[in-house]
Structure 1
Amino acid sequence: MASSYNLFCLTLIIASVCTVAHCKLSPNYYSSKCPKSLSIVKSSVIAAIKKETRIGASLLRLHFHDCFVNGCDGSVLLDDTAKFTGEKMAAPNNNSARGFNVVDKIKANLEKECPGVVSCADILALAARDSVEYLGGPSWTVGLGRRDSTTASIAAANASIPAPSLNLSAIISKFKAQGLSVKDMVALAGSHTIGFARCVQFRSRIYNDSNIDASFAKSLKSKCPKSGSDNNLAKLDAVSQTHFDNFYYKNLLEKKGLLHSDQELYKGSSKTDYLVRRYVSKPSEFFSDFAESMIKMGKIKVLTGSKGEVRINCRKVN
């Protein structure tokens, strides 16, 4: 009787665990369905980065912006339709999110190899990992088996993605809403060691913030006047913007974070200052924590099983 009861309890525990969508993700998901899928994604990503180094940061950002809006479901890739306005026109993405053509190319290559098998959401997760690894950062095992959404939400994109103007408590709140900790937040912010930001995203910081190196602010004002030139670009990491390393955190110690939200991580808060200093002194810990947090982020509200679909074209529902 006792053993039957224990077996029943164990069954309930297993059932409850497996209602969590991410328990169904597996790095071997495509091993038999499309064995060449991972190599196809990686080779396509490397080719794109060789053509334009900046695209690595763009692909990483797409995965981030996808996962923060109703989960990692490929919704960021959808074009507008008569039924919904997609997320591409949301404030955090409009004239900013890029790499869509690269995702199209990856998807086309996969469709030739194994039609209708590899989801667009999984492409984003793999492309983010492959970009970071190729640019000198850590690698990690990507769980696979996400399915794609059949809708998108511009309202959720505007509400959920952290803005560059936010203060520390607001940033922490945005990450907490996704089930991500303060450590996850600081580690994932390290993705700003690669890529660029537009003038409109850092203008207020260089003209209004006090927690900024004066010469650094001055050097940016020629690129970003008080009005106009909104789309002029500046490096998120002025030292090594094409290499994934820990210079982002070193810049923060010198008050040279490009975005207001960047510098908020190092301005006297016990919650985050110690992590910034730790990642400066121990880059291997940054790499380890970044990989761990990327795995965690990649599991946010994923669609699996019969939920969603595998889009044939990442820009539109089947």
Structure 2
Amino acid sequence: MARAPPVTGYEHDDAWDEGYLKVDDMHEIFYQQYGKKDGKPAIFLHGGPGGHTSKSNTAFFPPALYRVVLLDQRGCGRSRPNACTANNTTWHLVADIEALRAHLDIAKWALVFGGSWGSTLALAYAQRHPSAVGSLVLRGIFTVRAAELAWNFSPCGAPTLFPDKFEEFVDFLPQEERGDVRGAYYKRLMSEDESVSHPAARAWNKWELSASTLYPPTEEKLAQLEDPTWLLAHARMEMHYFANKAWLEEGQLLRPENVDRIRGIPATIVQGRYDVVCPPITAWDLHKAWPESRLYWSDDAGHAATEPTTKKKLIEVCEEYAKLDV
């Protein structure tokens, strides 16, 4: 299969506003605003848990139409303190989105955009605050069910497709600890000793990056492994959330009574057919539970939002939803 040419997306000027919002005695969340100051407000929810935002995330949104808000979630990116798991749960993040909406004097988000873990957070937020959401764009669906959490470490899951990369991931650990891979990584990632936590974070993140795209990751993607701020926050926060099942009951986001709360919100799901990080079955299950949503398959893409077919469709949907009267 020939590699599709890259999709650039929209070019934005630098942020016209940025700042910190103190959300409790411990955490300050960092945010930026791009695009049209009186445009339709859209919030971009990054993945991970433990990812971060950058100007490149604005590429999906026409700058002449949208007021784009980027948020670094608690403990991530430029939010303070970095890699902090205290007072850091799904429901804290949902409350932070509401606090930021009020702080920015936004009556309603015209669009909530989330991919991977961002899709989890977008669904949780919309189900908790449906009147604050005008439309949803979701990519690489993840709902934190037990089978989804097991996939990346299961002998019948992702390691069957990337056996060499998974073996490297496991071989980072001493032989005697390989019987409980997640437990061994948890102990290291939560260590306050950077000589212990940082090498483990590098190995953890390298395994995920190796499986994230249909084609091997670019040098630019792998360069993140040399960024100490991203490195530990991403790995530690993922482990923190996964170990606690993101404070969600099994299948909570797919339950009829919860989907009913968002059934009337225009929503589009874009899913890579060869997504190994967030397998397509979850997007399919969400669409079946929510047939009012639209599901588009990217038949030549894995997990990443930057893969050409996925990125092109996401841009098209954001363009379309800018015309909605919400």
TM score, norm. by length of structure 2: 0.33
Structure in which a larger fraction of residues adopt strand? 2
Q: Find the structure with the greater CA-based Rg.
A: 1
TM score, norm. by length of structure 1: 0.34
Structure in which a larger fraction of residues adopt helix? 1
Quick one: higher RCO (CA 8 Å, sep 6+), 1 or 2?
1
